[in-house]
Every structure is written in C-alpha cells, then in structure tokens.
Amino acid sequence: MSKGKVYLVGAGPGDAGLITLKGLRAIQMADCIVYDFHINPRLLTYAKDGAEFVYAGKRGGHHEMSQDEINSILVQKAKEGKIVCRLKGGDPFVFGRGGEELEILYEEGIDFEIVPGVSSVIAVPAYAGIPVTHRKVASAFTVITGNEDLSKQERIFNHIKASNASETMIFLMCVRNLETITNRLIQEGLKPETPSAIIRWGTRPEQKVVTGTISEIAYLAKENKISSPAILVIGDVVKFREKLKWYEKKPLYGHRILITRHLTDEYLILEDMGAELFVFPTIAFLPPDDFTELDKAIENIENYQFIVFPSPRAVKFFFERFLSIGKDVRNLKNILICAIGKETSRNLREFGINADIIPDEHSSEALAKRLKEEFFSIAQSKSDFQSKSIKILYPCSDIAMKDFVEELNTLGIKVDTPITYKTVKPTEHGKRLIRFLREGKITIATFTSPSSFYNLLDILKEDAKEMLKEVVISAIGKTTAKAIQKAGYKVSIIPEKSTIKDMVEAIIRWAQQN
C-alpha cells in the first residue's frame, strides 16, 4: 500500500480566483477532497476524474460532521494510501482549526503539508475598498474572534485599551455578538463616531457592505438584515471605501452564472467582469460501451467522401480510437472534413487537420444546407457524379440530434452515424446547485445544447419550474433555444453566432442594458 498524505489547503474567502497555485495543484492531485461549506464549488471542478468528495461543512450552526469525525476521516483516507486535500475557507491557521487537525495527523504518523490561503481578514476588506493599513491613518491591525462570549474575554479588551487608538480592528464571526462588541468598545474609550463597516459574504456575488459609526453599526446591520458570514472592520481606514471601492462597480457584479458544460477559457471574461461562475456540467462524456460500429467505419475510412464532426468531444473520442487501432491522418487524405463550430475546428487542428467546411451557424438546418451546396459543387466538377455515390461519416454521441442526417437521407445520400462517445448525467454537487437555485443565488443559466437543458430539468425534477422562474436563460443556437422554449421556458439571451465567445458577449451586453 502506498503511503498517504494530507494537504491542508486554504481556499481563500470565496472568490475562486484567490486560490494559490500550490493550493490548486493539491486539488488536482488529490484522491479525496474533504471540503467546507464556504468553499467556492468551482474549485472542485479542478479535481481529477474519480476523486472522492467528502462534505464536512457547517452552515447556520449545523455541523455536517463534528471535528472529531473530520479528524477521523482524514486519518482513515490517508491510511488507505490516498492523497487527501483538506480544503478550508480563508487560511486554515486563522481561526480555522487547522492546527488541531494537523496535531492528530502528527500523532498518527501521517505525512502532511500546509498550503496557506488568502485570509478573509485582508481579502474581504480589500473587496470592499478598505485597506486594513494606510500610512496616513493606520500602521497596525488587530484580528479578533467575535463568536465567543466576549464578556469573559477581558484580555481582548485589555489589549484594545493598551493599543494605539489609530489601530484597525477586525472582528471575524461577529454577527451574533455585534451589539455586545460595539457597546463594550465604547465603554473602553473608543470614540462613538469611529468609522466602521460590516461586510457580509465578502468577495462573492452576495457581498453586502454597510458602513456607519461604531455607535450605530449594530443597528444598521439589523436594518440591512446582515447575517453570517460577516466581518467587522473598525477604524479610519473605512473612510477610504468611497474612493477605493471597485468590486461593486464591475458590470456583472452580483451575478452568479450557471455553466452547464465543462469550463473553457472563453467563459473566464465573465469573471473578469465581476460574475461568479457556478460550473455544473449536466453532461459528462465517456467512450461507448461497444466500439463495433465505430471500428468498422474506421477500418473502411477510405469509402467516405466527407467526415462531419459535430463537437470537440466527437473529435477527441474519434481520434483517440482512430489512432489506437493503428490509423493516422494519412488515411484521411482524400476526405473532406467538416467541423461544426469554431471550437470543433480548433480541436481538429490539434490533430494536424484544417477543416474544409465550417458552417457559419451551429444548427442542423445550416449544416444540411452547407453540405448540399458542397455536393452540388462536386456535381458540377464531375460529370459522373451521383448523390447516391456519396457517403458521409458522422461520428456522434448516443443522443445526437440527427435532423440534418434525415434531410440528407431524403437526397439519397448515405450517412453512417457510429456512436463515438456516450453521455452520462453527473450528480456530484447537485445538492448545492439545487440550494443555490432555491435561494435565488443563480441569476443566469447558460445552455449549449438541448440535452444540457433536459438533463438539468431531470436533476431538478418537479421543482424545476419554480427554481428557474427568476433565472435569465441564455442558449446557443436556434435548436437549443427552441427546445427550451418548447418546454415552457423563456430564453432571454441568444447570440447571433453560435459560439461560446458570442454568448459571453451577449450576456455582458444584456447585463449592461438591464
């Protein structure tokens, strides 16, 4: 049995972009990820295939697992020889019980490594435009836990009395004791007019910042329904917020966008514009259970005049099989290659192939029309042309839309459609998606195929209508939009061109106009 190891990783306060490179590497290596409630679910999409997920979070005072149970699972998985990523919010050594968990690992003789994280202590004020120090007003800051019985924590207030009056104070986990904290501070001599800010869900789309004097901040927090998680910042540095606030000014601030396919770089501009991405592929792709049809087509590849690749997945799975049975690109020398969409075309280039045909529109109608034009072109150049002599290979999924195949069949053109890959419905992290939808935390949902939409409905079941009623829907292409509309849902965003890039741009335009 190989020796296991635990990586204690700080994931930052919420924005997925605040994970460190080393933390991301630990996620990618892990056989098992034990994660907390405040973790941005997008980080879990970097896990390798087959990784085990263990939820150990706490929400609203409810513990999914006790600390002893968490310690036990870390020990158990490591002793099974697994690489374990213990993923905690913020920094695991800043009120995160990281030290307690490592002590147990030490006692059990288990190897571990610490990957510090960006703490909410500095990140949350920064996203609110508040520097925790500033040369002109604050040369130090103090971090204090706010979730204990502060009336018994004399040492905290003794420190406050002894500290520099211009020192910034930051209370974490402070909502429950907010009034006690502020009243005691004033009793100990802090001026009632001292600036303060309470920040809820800092660095996330739900971020809410309330400012006021220390004497009124508890009242203002109640008025504005501030609940956990939140931090309190006290000091003159709060005055800089009006000048330095930046996060709330982003065009997509406040939006959490559901991505129902695997994340690609084209989507990342949405994060740059202030949105948070909730990545939940409703479709996963695997090799077919039976390669008989595909192998037969590959062995007789010279009999085809055209190969039509409907997606990047089709390219990937086709060529993996094509090369594995001894073929290479030289076997395709007399075949015209069609790629549906620019992304599919890019994937073909990775195998040294430039597509001969790239339909302008990603739809079955456009594809059939373009292929007909190509056939007529061939007919004009060859006096002996007959449509029945043309054979097309269409490597596709087990649920492929084949409208254009039927249209070509009516012309007497033979189209072979071997199953090249199959689709499955992932359910991992479905509970969190359902909770986010129920709580109104998803503002925009994107779909790139009818099946991505149908699979989401299947996951949501009878509650789908209710959960999606306030969600703005974006769909690529007329085929996908029609499928969604036929199911009784409104599609608000349809890009002119059927590409991820154009859909992203359409979402940004929509947000700027609404």
Q: Please, where are the H alpha helices in 354-469?
A: 364-381, 403-410, 430-438, 450-460, 464-468
At the top level of CATH, the class of 256-283+425-513 is: alpha beta
pLDDT exceeds 70 at position 381: no
Q: Which of 156-170, 183-197, 210-224, 462-476 has the lowest mean pLDDT?
A: 156-170
Q: Report pLDDT for 378.
A: 62
Region 362-376: mean pLDDT is 67
Q: Report pLDDT for 357.
A: 84
Chain segment 76-135, per-residue pLDDT in tens: 999 999 999 999 999 999 988 899 999 999 999 999 999 999 999 999 999 999 999 999
164's CB contacts (< 8 A; 6+ apart) are 139, 140
The answer to whether 58 is a known catalytic residue is yes
Q: Please, where are the H alpha helices in 341-418?
A: 342-349, 364-381, 403-410
Whether 131 contacts 244, CB under 8 Å = yes
Assess whether the region 122-245 and the region 256-283+425-513 belong to the same CATH fold: no
CATH of 122-245, one of 3.40.1210.10, 3.40.50.1100, 3.20.20.70, 3.30.950.10: 3.30.950.10
Q: Report pLDDT for 58.
A: 67
**DSSP for 108-134?**
TT-EEEEE----HHHHHHHHTT--S-B
Angle at 451 between CA 449 and CA 457, to 5 degrees: 115
Q: Report pLDDT for 156.
A: 62
Identify the DSSP state of 2: P
The answer to whether 36 is a known catalytic residue is yes
H or E element, residue 506: helix 500-513
d(CA 94, CA 331): 60
Single out the catalytic residue among 82, 88, 173, 208: 173
Q: Where are the domains of the chain?
A: 5-118, 122-245, 256-283+425-513, 286-423
- Given the structure tokens 């869900």, which residue do they identify? 201
Q: Report pLDDT for 428.
A: 67
The pLDDT > 90 percentage for the chain reads: 60
Rounded mean pLDDT of the chain?
88
Whether 441 contacts 256, CB under 8 Å = yes
d(CA 197, CA 224): 12
Q: Report pLDDT for 468.
A: 95
Q: Report pLDDT for 159.
A: 58
Single out the catalytic residue among 15, 36, 91, 416: 36
Single out the catalytic residue among 58, 79, 316, 372: 58
Four-CA torsion 238, 244, 245, 246, nearest 10 degrees: -160
Chain segment 300-353, per-residue pLDDT in tens: 999 998 899 988 889 999 999 999 999 988 999 889 898 887 888 999 999 999
SS3 80: coil
The closest alpha carbon to 151, from 189, 179, 121, 190, belongs to 179
At the top level of CATH, the class of 5-118 is: alpha beta
Q: Which fold has domain 286-423?
A: Rossmann fold (3.40.50)
Q: Report pLDDT for 98.
A: 92
SS3 39: coil
pTM for the structure as a whole? 0.81
d(CA 318, CA 309): 9
295's CB contacts (< 8 A; 6+ apart) are 321, 325
Q: Report pLDDT for 160.
A: 61
Region 415-437: mean pLDDT is 84
For 51, 69, 395, the CA distances from 84, given in Å and listed in that order, are 10, 15, 39
Chain segment 189-225, per-residue pLDDT in tens: 889 999 999 999 999 999 999 999 999 999 999 999 9
Find how far residue 255's CA is from the centre of its chain.
Answer: 13
The answer to whether 88 is a known catalytic residue is no
Identify the DSSP state of 135: T
The pLDDT > 70 percentage for the chain reads: 89
pLDDT exceeds 70 at position 62: no
SS3 32: strand
**Which tokens hold the place of 131?**
């520097």
> Model confidence at 175, in pLDDT bands (50, 70, 90)?
very high
- Given the structure tokens 């001894």, which residue do they identify? 326
Chain segment 449-465, per-residue pLDDT in tens: 888 899 899 888 889 99
Q: Report pLDDT for 50.
A: 86
